[in-house]
Amino acid sequence: MNSIIRFLRHSAQTGMVIMLFAAASILLSAWPHARKPVAKAPEVVISAARNNYFYAGIDNPISALAEGCPSDSLVLTTEKGSIHREGDYFVAHFDSTGVATINAMEKLPGHTLKNIGSDWFRIIPLPLPIVQVGNLPGDSVRAGLFAVQQVLLAHFVSDNLIIDINIPVISYSVKYLSGARNVILERQVKGPSLLPVLDLMQQAKASDTFIFENIMVRMPDGKIHKSGNLIYELY
């Protein structure tokens, strides 16, 4: 009887060891897979330098960074327009409005490209240009300050920020009114210069008014646009 008891006890202990060994083998074989690192896609940041959108018809600066990708190996592409690099920045150009997807690619040895991320942006039309005498907004202005201005300037303003693009003034006309609102003189001028009317500006006095009309500017796409009138009341 004692022999049988010892045999059963030995068998149970052996079975337990086998079971424990088998369980340990399963855990050990599964452990490397559980600990295996999962490949993480690099973080890519693409931003429009002016705003969170692009303007159609002009060059748009873009800044882009990709985690783990050297700057000189980063390439941006889009199917809607064109993108090229200028130093540390990229420049995108779109001819029409809508939505554009910007793809970030890493340039690998052998001239192959690896897609590492993308983002999308709205493309909106340019705002209408604003024209000013020098940097003076139209309204009330001191006669002495008005008299020293040299040029009629046109620029785009979006979200209270001036878009640094040259908008040539092609021509304009100006009316010089006395304080009694009688037209003293009217002239037609080609180009943006105020020199052809500088004599009028310098002889003007407080309560006189200047009205700039028929202001024609050339847009970035080459089209001619008629801007709104400018009125300056002197004090």
DSSP labels, 186-223: EEEEESSB-GGGHHHHHH--TT-EEEEEEEEEE-TTS-
Enumerate domains of the chain plus CATH numbers. 44-124 (2.60.40.1080), 130-234 (no CATH)
Q: What's the pLDDT at 6?
A: 53
Q: What DSSP character marks residue 110?
A: T
Phi, psi of 99 (to 5 degrees): -130, 135
d(CA 120, CA 143) in angstroms, rounded, equals 49
Residue 119 host element (H or E): strand 112-124
Question: pLDDT (tens digit, 0 to 9) for every residue of the chain, 235 residues total?
Answer: 555 445 445 554 444 433 333 333 333 233 344 444 545 556 889 998 777 899 999 999 999 999 989 999 999 999 999 999 999 899 999 999 999 999 999 999 988 999 999 999 999 998 889 999 998 988 899 999 999 999 999 988 876 666 778 899 999 999 999 887 788 899 999 999 999 999 999 999 999 999 999 999 999 888 899 999 999 999 9
The two structure tokens encoding residue 183: 């037209």
Question: CA geometry: angle at 223 spanning 171 and 100, to 5°?
Answer: 140
| Closest alpha carbon to 212 in 144, 136, 128, 127 | 136
Position 102 scores a pLDDT of: 96
